[in-house]
Amino acid sequence: MKRIAVFTSGGDAPGMNAHIRAVERTGEKRGLEVIGIIGGYSGMMLGHFEVLDRIRTANIIDRGGTILKTSRCPEFEEVEGRIKAAEELRKHGIDGVVACGGDGTFHGAHYLWQEHGIPIVGTPGTIDNDLSGTDYTIGYDTAINTAAQAIDKIRDTADSHGRLFFIEVMGRHAGFIAMDVGIACGAEYVAVPETLTDIDEMYQRILAQGLDKRTVVIVGEGDELGGALGISKKLEERYGISSKISILGHIQRGGSPTVRDRVLASRLGAAAVDALLEGRSDVMVGEMSGQITSVPLEQTWEERKLVPPYLTELAYLLV
């Protein structure tokens, strides 16, 4: 193996640049040439490749986003799209690939290996923290800190006016962000996709807090009642309670990564390069209990990662 490539795909996550830097630096130390694929799977299909070196990856470790850009690529879901991508990789002499992303990225990586035999190792880059096989994903720590800072500011207004606020955070299929920031910010109720939201119980908690007091409810965007807007509407219809709604949105995906995310991204980037050199493929490298782990890519989506019950119990206990 003499030349490897790295790309970022799907939603961006703080720490992706630290990850790119680690892949380049580790590859260089291992005697490899490292190529950056610009624009995720779309760039792979179009042959948008760029040589990475120490100068290109200097001073990026503290930057959010990704210098390699990213995309969602429906064309890659088709057999023809993957054929084009494989042809470009071979044309450019790529011996192995590091794929940083989430569930969709890993599906594509798995098929690229299965159909074309191109060695590929995944690294978990998503703020949702929803991938099995790793305790934390790249970007998650930054996202929850960004969300917590925003919620603390909203709480000041909620307290000053004695209002009920529904604050929606990201997490279409997983409630890790909602649960962690809900506990950290002292929410009266946390609604997550993994559990059914009980409007009557929520009302009782709001009532216990006092209708004229500051009340904050954290909602994961994937909640079955329709996120913060849906819950707010149902509560008003049933109990006549008005509320304010704040949807934090993509602010959670940006910003300078925390130290924890920079270290995790660096460690997993280096581990991915070594995994390729050891002949491993169709796996994701992660970190569990402080140790580097390696699991089949299929496991990352087949074995659903759920919010631990002890966190749900703690959120209920601390109301």
Q: Which two three-digit tokens encode residue 272?
A: 């991915």
In a domain, 246, yes or no: yes
Mean pLDDT (the chain, rounded): 95
Assess whether pLDDT exceeds 90 at residue 207. Answer: no
The residue assigned the tokens 């970190």 is 287
Shared-domain flag, residues 118 and 265: yes
The single-letter DSSP state of residue 61 is T
Catalytic site residues?
Answer: 128
Shared-domain flag, residues 152 and 126: no
What is the predicted pLDDT for the residue at 177? Answer: 98
Question: Is the Cβ–Cβ distance between 197 and 163 less than 8 Å?
Answer: no
Domain hosting 119: range is 3-139+257-302
What is the predicted pLDDT for the residue at 206? Answer: 87
Rounded average pLDDT over 143-151: 98
Assess whether pLDDT exceeds 80 at residue 31. Answer: yes
Shared-domain flag, residues 43 and 148: no
pLDDT digits (tens, 9 = 90+) for 168-190: 999 988 999 999 999 999 999 99
Shared-domain flag, residues 244 and 218: yes
What is the predicted pLDDT for the residue at 172? Answer: 86
Instruction: Name 133's Cβ contacts closer than 8 Å, sequence gap at least 6.
Output: 124, 284, 286, 288, 293, 295, 299, 300, 303
In a domain, 317, yes or no: no
What is the predicted pLDDT for the residue at 314? Answer: 94
pLDDT digits (tens, 9 = 90+) for 70-108: 988 999 999 999 999 999 999 999 999 999 999 999 999
In a domain, 314, yes or no: no
